[in-house]
Amino acid sequence: MKPAPRLAITLGDPCGIGPEILLKILPVITKKWQITIYGSAVGLSILPKHDIEYKFCSGKLIFQSMELDWVDSTPEMSRSGFQIGKPSALSGKCAAEAVRVATLGIMSGNADALLTLPISKTALFMAGIDSPGHTELLQKISGSQRVRMAFISPSLKIVLHTVHQCLRSVLEELDIDAVATTLIFTARQFASLFDLNSPRIALCAINPHAGEGGLFGNEEKMLEKSIDVANISFSDFTTIKPIFTGPYPADSIFQKASKGKFDGVVALYHDQGLIPVKLLEPDSAVNLTLGLPFIRTSPDHGTAFDIAGKWIANPNNALAAAELAHSLLR
């Protein structure tokens, strides 16, 4: 019998909902995965008691008659200075160090996929870490040349051209070749990950009504040239024949995509892509990092400090993240 694949899980910010989410998903995901957890044991020690029984002992999480490997990447940390529901420099350091150690571990062959629980950008900043989120951290640690943030839900696949930057800079930095690169990269990744010979990739416009022929802006003329560049790049390919179309008005493209007209949508900035997926399928959306040398997924939500420790956090996104990683490995 083939052994179960190995999943590395990072705890996320120990003061957020990551520890609670972890304990809620373990009974389900241990049926399909061999689990190793990376994170500060402080995250469990400050968690208020609940009817879920667990304990941490000698590098193992003892949970429902299971012993799961736990790598404490910051063993020097004690409960002092940590408060559940409150981000801090200490919690930011713990979260980032867990990602670093887990990433190096998976690149050394210790796991087959990585599931990251939520970290806090505020806590990372307080800790003096210059990466604003998981995507940037993972790219830097893994040495990956190019990555893109994607969001996968049952009816949508969205790739972001830009991530954590202000909207003004998105407009100022809009570039024909850069957008074409994202389109080409998306097509290659989708062909590989989702077994699509001719991925249909749609591009979002940036102005209302896709600029209405220049009435509301000329950026769409630039985006049309990006599509031309992307199409030319695949003109001589025989194995992958992507279909790039657009730019489409952002107020209608996602509905069409959710009904199956496109295999994926490239959004030009963060909220353009995140609003529709979080509105349509908030409990099943998964963050997938494209371009890493391993599969990495994450629940599409944050640390939820306001409900941390109350045992009411919804684990469905994390379960979906584990399921997506499993299906991509297959």
Angle at 233 between CA 227 and CA 234, to 5 degrees: 100
pLDDT for position 6: 97
In a domain, 150, yes or no: no
Judgement on whether residues 185 and 233 belong to the same structural domain of the protein = yes
Buried b (16+ CB within 10 A) or exposed e, 151-182: bbbeebbbbbbbeeeeeeebeeebebeebbbb
pLDDT tens-digit series, residues 3-48: 899 999 999 999 999 999 999 999 999 999 999 999 999 999 899 9
Secondary structure (DSSP) of 145-209 = S--EEEEE-SS-EEEESS-SS-HHHHHHT--HHHHHHHHHHHHHHHHHHS--SS-EEEEE-SSGG
Judgement on whether residues 175 and 250 belong to the same structural domain of the protein = yes
In a domain, 323, yes or no: yes
pLDDT in tens, the chain (330 residues): 688 999 999 999 999 999 999 999 999 999 999 999 999 999 998 999 888 888 887 788 998 888 999 999 999 988 888 999 999 999 999 999 999 999 999 999 999 999 999 999 999 999 999 888 899 999 999 999 999 999 999 999 999 999 888 999 999 999 999 999 999 999 999 999 999 999 999 999 999 898 788 888 889 999 999 999 999 988 877 788 999 999 999 999 999 999 999 999 999 999 999 999 999 999 999 999 999 999 999 999 999 999 999 999 999 999 999 999 999 997
Q: What is the CATH number of the domain that holds 225?
A: 3.40.718.10
In the three-class reduction of DSSP (H, G, I as helix; E, B as strand; rest coil), residue 300 is classed as coil
In a domain, 112, yes or no: yes
Judgement on whether residues 309 and 297 belong to the same structural domain of the protein = yes
96: nearest Cα among 120, 70, 68, 60: 120
Contact 36, 110 (CB under 8 A): yes
pLDDT for position 65: 84
Judgement on whether residues 85 and 163 belong to the same structural domain of the protein = no
Judgement on whether residues 28 and 175 belong to the same structural domain of the protein = no
pLDDT for position 291: 97
Helix (H) or strand (E) holding 138, with range, is: helix 134-142
Judgement on whether residues 132 and 167 belong to the same structural domain of the protein = no
The tokens describing 313, both together, are: 């956090």
Q: What is the pTM of this model?
A: 0.94
Judgement on whether residues 168 and 315 belong to the same structural domain of the protein = no
pLDDT for position 58: 73
In a domain, 197, yes or no: yes
In a domain, 244, yes or no: yes
Domain range for 261 is 155-280
Judgement on whether residues 80 and 160 belong to the same structural domain of the protein = no
Task: Kindly list the distances between the CA atom of residue 78 and the CA atoms of 41, 46, 81, 126, 128, in Å, as whole numbers in the listed order.
Answer: 9, 10, 8, 18, 20
Judgement on whether residues 237 and 131 belong to the same structural domain of the protein = no
Q: How many domains does the chain divide into?
A: 2
Judgement on whether residues 240 and 265 belong to the same structural domain of the protein = yes
pLDDT for position 86: 96
Judgement on whether residues 213 and 317 belong to the same structural domain of the protein = no
Query: Which amino acid would we find at residue 226?
Result: S
Judgement on whether residues 162 and 264 belong to the same structural domain of the protein = yes
DSSP 212: G
